[in-house]
Structure 1
């Protein structure tokens, strides 16, 4: 079962990331769209793994990883193949390292490459895919262990881990420095943890519309180049509240359409941006339309074919489900 409002939230995430990368004046904090995706992924994946563990007593890890690869890798492979073919002509600035960049993206290691060897290439944005893939490798082992504590205690432990990693991220620039503050998985996986906590212990707070307004205000009014460390925790908490209580506005059909093809849009928007200027409104509009078309083609011609019969299912009632007793997690994320 699809949840229309969460497709709409994916649309908000991808449109804000695209606007940020296009240097549009109203999207100084649009990079936080990536963190919206992280919270959603943590919530969805942990919910599925927890349900499987409680239903069968274990997690079929090879089957889980196969589903994830079938969902993500074919579309990425199409992008990488196209990039390798056209880079000498369309991307001469990065053509000499195209094989290395494509290999690290294919192996989901771009975030580690950016940590030790930062480089601006048409594939740099695949760092976020690497963070999620590394999460997928670890999480089928972590969730069954967490559930031995019970859902409530496990959720509280994840919140404590979120606080500790957030604090470590503040201290990291002074201790180590470098691009790892942004790209190193433990330092940027906090949204995945907070979404996972929500999946294990749904909250009863009904603040979705206010949280969405706050989230949009942050992405519009704050420059993440200057304030990323400070606004990221606030954006993650706001996203959790939106997922817990999705506003009806997000179910607007055009947003649903964009949200359903957001993965392909994310894959293709940076390579397109390298060859499409966005200095004027018509140019920016052309970029958004081209990315939407690319995302739709990816979803219709690649993703749907490979996930037919094997896609992930969202269980009815999961977001916003109210527990029998108000959870103490409300105080932690509300």
Structure 2
């Protein structure tokens, strides 16, 4: 293995862990419960932060794995893979929305604008400051993640070039703390809840928390190994998540400490399943949760307009059951058609620079 300037020389390879798909399944259920307005689950919108922490962990792990092997990042390859993973399903969803939304909501006059803002990944700041897209409110989190994908790889390389081997976790920890303090600053400025909630700059802390864990997993500082031995004592923290479900929208306690508690709880869960054994791992690798997690991106795309339509006519139990079933069906249709095709393009092997096409000859 080549020596990487900012990484301790330890072999690292990110392997598939079904419990991570199970955690995605839990997150998407929480988000759907929130949008279905289920009683006692007003704070279930915090399920999005489970996605953020997990995404930060996985993306940073992959980037560090590549940098560890090659002493560099192939930015084009990274963005190309992100494009084929995310954009085809998004464009299919938005095309269906543009065609069907006017039939379901004849009074809508901003359908095309909402679709355009969503496709350009501007929904986070669009919603925070311009109330657009109003009918595709859930697009904000995809925009937050996309902005992270744009900013984080070059910033990560810069940090790797500057820090001592095995010390990457220090500046990433600092960034996590600073991002949390930045959110608190705007709370102190009495900015509206929704203006803080939806923006990338005030919601990057979850993604950075996951990135911090990725750095700790690969660098393994002495103190983190000691902490791992005391994991049973911190496994109580994830039990705080159900208590947070009572936090209502527009409650600034979410911004002050609620998001941080969820981020820390998500980190504990991710650490708990790294060895792929134990009670938490077995719970999260339940087949139904894993399957739901594999379809979670599509379910997230489709669920909001489905739930929004159903909740205008039906009680919340019907909205939850029917909304989840319809969203899964549409997600599966998307996954086994256009997404499968896109993934084949994404995973095509890269042609060697000196490879030449040899013309076919007869005989």
TM-score w.r.t. length of structure 2: 0.80
Give the 5 Å matches for 1:7-156: 7-93=21-107, 95-119=108-132, 121-148=134-161, 149-150=163-164, 152-156=166-170
1:213 to 1:174, Cα distance in 2 relative to 1, 3 A: closer
Using the TM superposition, give the Cα deviation of residue 219 of structure 1 relative to its aligned residue in structure 2, in angstroms.
4.2
Write the distance in 2 (CA, Å) between the matches of 1:151 and 1:20: 43
* Contiguous gaps of at least 5 residues in structure 1: 312-334
The alignment's C-alpha RMSD in Å is 2.1
Task: Go from structure 1 to structure 2 and tell me whether the alpha carbon gap of 1:280 and 1:37 turns closer, same or farther (over 3 Å shift).
Answer: closer
Which has the higher Rg, Structure 1 or Structure 2?
2
CA distance in 1, matches of 2:132, 2:147: 21
Runs of 4+ in 1 over 6 A off after TM superposition: none
Identify if the C-alpha distance between structure 1 residues 176 and 225 changes in structure 2 by more than 3 Å, giving closer, same or farther: closer
Taking a change above 3 Å as real, the CA distance of residues 254 and 150 of structure 1, as seen in their structure-2 partners, is farther
Gaps of 5+ in 2: 1-14, 218-223, 274-279, 348-363
Deviation at 1:231, TM superposition (A): 0.7
- Separation in structure 2 between the aligned mates of residue 139 and residue 167 of structure 1, nearest angstrom: 19
Contact 1:211 1:242 in 2 (8 A): no
Which digits, 9 at most, give the CA deviation of each residue in 1:133-153, with x for residues without a partner? 111111120121222314642
Q: Offset of 1:195 from its aligned partner? A: 0.4
Q: Does structure 1 residue 234 correspond to structure 2 residue 255?
A: no
Distance 1:45 1:25, change over 3 A: same
TM-score of the aligned structures, taking structure 1 as reference length: 0.87
Report the Cα offset of residue 54 of structure 1: 1.6
Deviations 1:103-137 (A, max 9, x none): 11101111111122025633121111011111111
Could you list the per-position Cα deviations for residues 205-240 of structure 1 after superposition, in whole angstroms to 9, with x for gaps in the alignment?
23585343333x234343354231121101001101
**Higher mean C-alpha deviation, range 67-76 or range 195-204:** 195-204
| Contact 2:56/2:209, CA 8 A, preserved across alignment | yes
Rounded Cα–Cα distance in structure 2 between residues aligned with 1:74 and 1:158 = 32
